[in-house]
């Protein structure tokens, strides 16, 4: 059993270290205090751990779960468009309920898997573009902190790609602690999060504008950018069709229940699924379910460090944290670009969608992710009608 256990431990450590900073930055961007952001990170760790342990053991399949990293990037991009954290919590709940409904109503689930890839890929790329630019900005604004981070990342991309982002985060953490004199504290006068694990309850409000600009795009990027690829990875590795209804309903319920504590979205893992479900986990496919169970246990332990992780992030120059997140998201950004621009006949649609989403515009209180999807859909319909018209 040692091999799948080690794979689970490695998967959990790399998954946490490579993206916890953007989770915290995203929650702070939509109005959370450091204590509320730490609560969100903790409940996300506990939620995905519980799902991985329970469902993997029940179905004897390597079902690993994660927070929605593209969703966290969406929260960062929504800064300024969401003025009330309670409204963001309401949007998280709606996102979770939509995932539940998708699992219960099969035609809706099939429809979600048929979202035109130029739209889904371009929206994802547009959300991630400002974050992926951040390493360049950080090297200019904070060269002493950012240059070592980028160099370590680049070196390990060549030698040990799996550890490139965690190592970059470690180098950034060392630089932050040295700069802060060994005692991370909030850099903007806000109270720091408790180092002890604490869950903070926030009562939601339902704001239609925030639901449209945050809740619906969060649902779409979580489904298109995480759940659908997660199912595809399992199929590619030779597993029978995963229990889609159980996965979607349970992860949607965990999202909706955990939302008042800051859990914005939990989904089937796409980035770490290949590690926990692939040959590296165990030569015998029927033994690989042990890996996400072991990873779930590790995530529970990692969740206990949420306060310390939040204190580290709030002590850092914001551009440095976003820069590390940008390095972590370059792979997802590339995937989005390839999906968006693969088909020549829809490249104009993809370009328009990406530009509108990346612009960050807020119109009528609704953020750019929604408008990018809407404008892209219009362009897609018009160009399809033009191609279909008789000549």
How does pLDDT run along the chain (391 residues), one tens digit per residue? 778 888 888 788 878 877 888 899 899 999 999 999 999 999 999 999 999 999 999 999 999 999 998 889 889 888 777 778 999 999 999 999 999 999 998 887 776 666 677 887 888 788 788 888 888 988 998 888 889 999 999 999 888 887 787 888 888 888 888 876 654 444 444 445 567 778 999 999 999 989 988 999 899 888 877 887 788 777 767 777 668 889 999 999 999 999 999 999 999 987 677 678 777 777 888 888 999 999 999 999 999 988 888 887 777 777 787 788 788 778 778 878 888 898 888 889 999 999 998 887 777 666 677 788 889 889 988 887 666 555 5
- pLDDT averaged over every residue in the chain: 84
> What distance in Å separates the CA atoms of residue 133 and residue 126, rounded to the nearest whole number?
11
Instruction: Yes or no: say if 346 and 118 are a contact pair by the CB < 8 Å rule.
Output: yes
Please indicate, yes or no, if residue 366 is contained in any of the structural domains: yes
Q: Structure pTM?
A: 0.78
Q: What local confidence, expressed as pLDDT, does residue 189 receive?
A: 46
Tens digit of each residue's pLDDT (9 = 90 or more) over 132-162: 888 898 899 888 888 999 999 999 988 888 7
Q: Is residue 189 part of a domain?
A: no
Helix (H) or strand (E) holding 267: strand 266-268
Does any domain span residue 193? no
Of 300, 290, 269, nearest to 5 (Cα)?
290
Beta pairing partners, 65: 268
Question: For residue 160, how many other CB atoms are within 10 A of its CB?
Answer: 11
**Residue 201 CB coordination number (10 Å):** 10
∠ CA 329-199-72, nearest 5°, is 15
DSSP per-residue codes, 26-67: HHHHTT--HHHHHHHHHHHHHHHHHHHHHHHHHHTS---EEE
Phi, psi values for residue 263, rounded to 5°? -80, 100
Tell me what pLDDT residue 278 has: 75
pLDDT of residue 366: 66
Task: Judge whether 192 lies within some domain.
Answer: no
Can you tell me the distance from the alpha carbon of 356 to that of 375, in angstroms, rounded to the nearest whole number? 8
Evaluate whether residue 190 is within a structural domain.
no
Residue 14 in domain: yes
How many domains in the chain? 1
Using an 8 Å Cβ cutoff, are 69 and 271 in contact?
A: yes
Structural domain boundaries enclosing 94: 2-184+202-388
Gyration radius from the chain CA atoms: 20
Q: Is residue 197 included in any domain, yes or no?
A: no
107 part of a folded domain: yes
Largest CA distance in the chain: 72
Q: What's the CA dihedral at 271, 272, 274, 277 to 10 degrees? A: -150
pLDDT of residue 181: 62
Structure confidence by residue, pLDDT tens digits, 109-119: 776 666 677 88
Name the packing angle between helices 34-59 and 244-258 (round to 10°). 160
Residue pair 197/42 in contact (Cβ under 8 Å)? The answer is yes
């Amino acid at each position: 059993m040692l091999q799948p256990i080690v794979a689970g431990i490695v998967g959990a450590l790399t998954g946490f270290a490579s993206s916890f900073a953007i989770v915290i930055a995203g929650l702070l961007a939509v109005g959370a205090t450091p204590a509320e952001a730490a609560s969100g990170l903790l409940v996300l760790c506990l939620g995905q751990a519980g799902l991985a342990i329970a469902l993997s053991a029940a179905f004897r399949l390597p079902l690993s779960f994660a927070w929605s990293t593209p969703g966290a990037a969406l929260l960062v991009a929504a800064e300024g468009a969401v003025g009330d954290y309670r409204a963001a919590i309401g949007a998280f709940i709606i996102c979770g309920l939509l995932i539940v409904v998708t699992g219960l109503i099969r035609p809706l689930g099939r429809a979600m898997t048929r979202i035109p890839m130029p739209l889904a890929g371009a929206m994802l790329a547009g959300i991630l573009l400002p974050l992926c630019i951040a390493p360049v900005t950080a090297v200019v604004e904070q060269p002493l902190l950012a240059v070592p981070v980028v160099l370590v990342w680049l070196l390990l991309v060549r030698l040990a790609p799996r550890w490139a982002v965690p190592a970059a985060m470690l180098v950034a953490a060392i630089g932050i602690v040295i700069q802060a004199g060994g005692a991370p504290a909030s850099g903007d006068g806000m109270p720091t999060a408790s180092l002890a694990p604490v869950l903070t309850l926030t009562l939601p409000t339902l704001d239609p504008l925030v639901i449209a600009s945050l809740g619906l795009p969060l649902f779409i990027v979580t489904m298109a950018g995480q759940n659908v690829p997660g199912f595809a990875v399992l199929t590619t590795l030779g597993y029978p069709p995963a229990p889609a209804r159980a996965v979607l309903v349970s992860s949607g319920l965990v999202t909706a229940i955990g939302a008042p504590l800051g859990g914005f979205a939990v989904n089937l893992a796409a980035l770490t699924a290949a590690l926990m479900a692939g040959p590296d986990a165990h030569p015998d496919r029927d033994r690989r379910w042990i890996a996400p169970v072991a990873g779930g246990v590790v995530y529970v332990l990692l969740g206990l460090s949420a306060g310390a992780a939040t204190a580290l992030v709030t002590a850092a120059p914001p551009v440095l944290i976003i820069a590390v997140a940008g390095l972590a998201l370059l792979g997802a950004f590339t995937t989005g670009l390839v999906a968006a621009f693969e088909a020549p006949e829809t490249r104009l649609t993809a370009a328009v969608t990406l530009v509108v989403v990346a612009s960050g515009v807020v119109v009528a209180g609704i953020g750019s992710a929604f408008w990018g999807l809407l404008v892209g859909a219009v362009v897609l319909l018009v160009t399809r009608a033009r191609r279909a018209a008789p000549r």
